[in-house]
């Protein structure tokens, strides 16, 4: 139930609460600690749906992830003088258990062709290893065969 016509207002609220309000709450508490040390890196694991409207994701998920993008970019600007860097990481389709929640879960072959959790972890590890003078505001990682239009 992902289209505007099908999406129940309660499901809309749930998506916003989890993806946007949840990110805000965690970020707010994290920043309190980072400001005191005048240094920090936050990587918000977003989704390509936060950069492009993805029909498979649905309007509620897309909207919540676009909001998360704005949160990350805006707070990074506010906190740069405190030495805090925020990266919005936008992974495409990743082989995780949540794929089982789709009306038609993907095949084993499809799951093997998309990003694996260790692919995303590798990117996060690389970002974390960069010197404090380096800031990557946004980074998109997607399966080679996934569209990005």
Taking only the tens place, the pLDDT of each residue in 95-133 is 999 999 888 899 999 999 999 999 999 999 999 999 999
* pLDDT for res 149: 75
Nearest to 47 by CA among 36, 38, 60, 37: 60
Catalytic positions: 61
Q: DSSP code of 51?
A: T
CA distance 62 to 51: 9
* pLDDT for res 57: 87
* pLDDT for res 86: 98
Annotation: CATH topology of 9-141: Rossmann fold (3.40.50)
């Amino acid at each position: 139930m992902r289209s505007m016509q099908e999406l129940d207002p309660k499901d809309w609220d749930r998506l916003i609460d989890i993806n946007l309000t949840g990110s805000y709450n965690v970020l707010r508490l994290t920043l309190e600690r980072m400001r005191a040390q005048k240094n920090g890196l936050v990587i918000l694991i977003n989704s390509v749906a936060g950069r492009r409207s993805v029909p498979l994701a649905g309007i509620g998920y897309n909207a919540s992830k676009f909001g998360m993008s704005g949160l990350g970019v805006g707070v990074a600007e506010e906190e740069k003088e405190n030495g805090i860097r925020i990266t919005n990481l936008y992974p495409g389709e990743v082989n995780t258990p949540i794929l089982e929640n789709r009306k038609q879960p993907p095949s084993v072959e499809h799951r093997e062709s998309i990003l694996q959790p260790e692919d995303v972890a590798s990117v996060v590890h690389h970002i974390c290893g960069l010197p404090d003078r380096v800031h990557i505001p946004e980074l998109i990682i997607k399966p080679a065969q996934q569209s990005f239009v």
